[in-house]
Amino acid sequence: MISCPALMVSAPSSGSGKTSITATIARHARNSGKRVRVFKTGPDYLDPMVLARASGQPVYQLDLFMGGLAHCQQLLAEAAENADLILVEGVMGLFDGQPSSADLAAAFGLPVLAVIDASAMAQTFAALALGLQTFRSDIRLCGVVANRVGSAAHGRMVAEGLPGDLPLVAALPRQQDLTLPERHLGLVQALELPELDAQLDRWAQAWGEASGGFEFQPVRFDCESAPALPALLKGRRIAVAQDAAFSFIYPANLDCLRALGAEVLCFAPIQGQALPDCDALWLPGGYPELHASALRANPHFFADLAAHMAAHKPLLAECGGMLALVESLTDAEGVAHPMAGLMPGHAQMQQRLAALGLQSIDWPGLGKLRGHSFHYSRLDTALAPLTRASNPNGGQTAEALYGLGSLRASYVHHYFPSNPEAVATFFAGQHTHADHRSPD
């Protein structure tokens, strides 16, 4: 067992300010000389980008479905060995979802700091905080943050009625500088916010002034080491597109590829970089619709993709990566952009959410992989799915997995540690080169 101060930051609902507060605490601790590791509960790419900037360290997912209990335990124990503080940002409301943030807090004994948007309430704040404290007996709230208060008097008012064992840790004012810009999939990417570091430092100063020396409590983590993965990809060079158009990458996925023996080669298509000499390619999700002109302007990218597929080299395209391969992609303003044309079909961005949910997908001949889906686009293609995913909670989202020669494409964002052997088999080229063109 290893001990490290740790805290989960959660809330009654999405939009309460969890990411901002977690980033604020992380930056304050970092500026105080502490080594901080931050995790995000559940599938998410955008919040972790901000949290990574705040902490100065990569942010990994803790998901009891995608990764499992032992995997989450391993990540926390590894972090505890070198960190002075571990922060875990929750997802949605504290008790929302299956598994929920509360399930994760209970599994690892994480004390919970609840962030409550106090902008439209007064004494009811305490009633809501007390409800969060008593709803489940297997988790423990260690304090609450009143976010977006209107004044110092408002901050004192919301604290009225809080029990003695549930202190008001901080009352933070409602101001534009304490918010982050958003777009259709969530927060704007951290790499697109040039003033983010200065903003984080201002938040950290505000937290130091408001929190009154809040003390983080130590948590003990089981530090049993996981068995090493077999070097099934030794000698394989795997290229990964990584820039503002293809940025939805779990750090654990890259770790998994390297642990399997692969050499990972990252390149930035929208910066004009050519596809590196490689044995396999991963096009992750992101925002190709926002960078379609830059992708087309790259003199190498689409031609390199065509040559890669013609050579029958494995190509995994996820969500936005898949949209870059179709014939055309129409953005939210109705402008149609020609894409690589290597996969039959046309994609259209929509104003409404098209799909959301955890996914389990049984790859033919490889086994089950887990992940999630979250997109605003619709794809019309003549390809028949090789298979469809299922939602563990019975939700309607059931994404297709498409195959075309050495290509596998899906809206699913796969979590590679859920089945490293299946991932290795695919990227090693040991898969069926099926050409599926029949209508769905």
pLDDT, tens digit (0-9, with 9 covering 90-100), for 139-179 = 999 999 999 999 999 999 999 989 999 999 999 988 656 56
* pLDDT band of 196, cuts 50, 70, 90: confident
Q: Do domains 2-221 and 237-427 have the same CATH topology?
A: yes
CA distance 148 to 21: 11
E-strand ranges in 72-158 read 85-89, 112-117, 141-149
pLDDT, tens digit (0-9, with 9 covering 90-100), for 250-277 = 999 999 999 999 999 999 999 999 999 9
pLDDT, tens digit (0-9, with 9 covering 90-100), for 365-378 = 999 999 999 999 99
What is 237-427's CATH number? Answer: 3.40.50.880
pLDDT at 176: 53
Rg (CA), the chain: 23
Q: What is the pTM of this model?
A: 0.92
User: Which residues are part of the catalytic machinery?
Assistant: 319
* pLDDT band of 186, cuts 50, 70, 90: low
* pLDDT band of 182, cuts 50, 70, 90: low
Q: In whole numbers, what is the pLDDT of the chain averaged over residues?
A: 92
In CATH, 2-221 is 3.40.50.300: yes
SS3 content of the chain, % helix, strand, coil (to 5): 30, 25, 40
Q: Where do the structural domains in the chain lie, given as residue ranges?
A: 2-221, 237-427
DSSP letters for 232-285? TTTT-EEEEE-SSSS-B--HHHHHHHHHTTPEEEEE-GGGTPPPPS-SEEEE-B
